[in-house]
Amino acid sequence: MATNRQSAGRRRRPIPIEFIICNPDESLSEQASFYTSLEVGEDAQLRYQEQSIIINDSMLIPIRRLGFGNFGYVMLTEVQDCPGLQMAVKHLNLYQSTHNPSDFTADTDLQTLRTVGSGENPHVTTFYTALVRKRDNELLICMEACETSMEKFSTKMHQINETQNLDLLLKRMINHMVNALSFLKTKNILHRDVKPSNILINQNPVIFKSNYL
C-alpha cells in the first residue's frame, strides 16, 4: 500500500512548463543581421542608359506574373521614371529562422545569380541588382526579362502546320542550352531544375537558361 501511495504521489507531481518569451528587439536584430549577410538593403544601384540610378521598392511597378514556385514568384516589372526598362523580379520570402528552407533558397539564389549573371555568358539570364521589401519580408532579385519560355514556344509551334527552318532553330536551341550548362559547370554550379518552363527565349532567337524559380 505504501508503494502505491508513493507511485500515486509521483504521478500527481506537477510537470514544469517553460514558456519562451519573444523579444521584438532581438527578432529585429536577427532580421537585420540576415539582410546584412545577403549584402542587400531597401535601396539598390542599377545601370540604366549608361547611368547609375538608385531604385527602391516603391519605384517597382508590377505588370504581370511570369511564374511561381515553392519559394516565391516572378513578376514582369517596370521601373518608375525609367521608360522602356522592364525586369523580371523574383520575390523570395525571408524569415528570421535559420531552419526555414526559404532562407537557404534566397541566399543560394542570390549568390548564384551574382556569380553567373554578370553578362559573361550570353545564354544565361543577366542579374541586375537585389533589394529588400521589409514590409512583406521579401528579397527581390532583379533580372533580365525574356519574351517567352521553351514550354510556351513549343506549344505554339505545334499549332503551326508548316514551319520554315525549324531544324536549324532546334539545333541552335540545343547549342545554346549546352553552352549555358557548360558555363554553369565552369562555375561549379549544378542547375537542378532543367525543364521547358525554365528555358527562356528572346526574339533573336537567343536561348537563355533560366534561374527564375
Instruction: Give the span between the Cα atoms of 62 and 75, in whole angstroms.
Output: 6
CB count within 10 Å of CB 132 equals 22
Q: Is 193 a catalytic residue?
A: yes
Q: Is 90 annotated as a binding residue?
A: yes
DSSP notation for 122-143: TTBPPEEEEEEETTTTEEEEEE
Q: How far apart are the first and last CA of the chain?
A: 68
Active-site pick, 43, 81, 136, 193: 193
Beta-bridge partner residues of 13: none
Which grid coordinates are listed for 90? 523574383
φ/ψ of residue 205, rounded to 5? -95, 135
Instruction: Give the span between the Cα atoms of 204 and 212, in whole angstroms.
Output: 20
φ/ψ of residue 166, rounded to 5? -65, -40
Helices 101-116 and 24-38: crossing angle in degrees, nearest 10, is 20
Instruction: Give the span between the Cα atoms of 147 and 141, in whole angstroms.
Output: 18
Instruction: Give the span between the Cα atoms of 128 and 89, in whole angstroms.
Output: 10
Please give the positions annotated as active site. 193
Per the annotation, binding residues are 90
Per the annotation, binding residues for ATP are 90
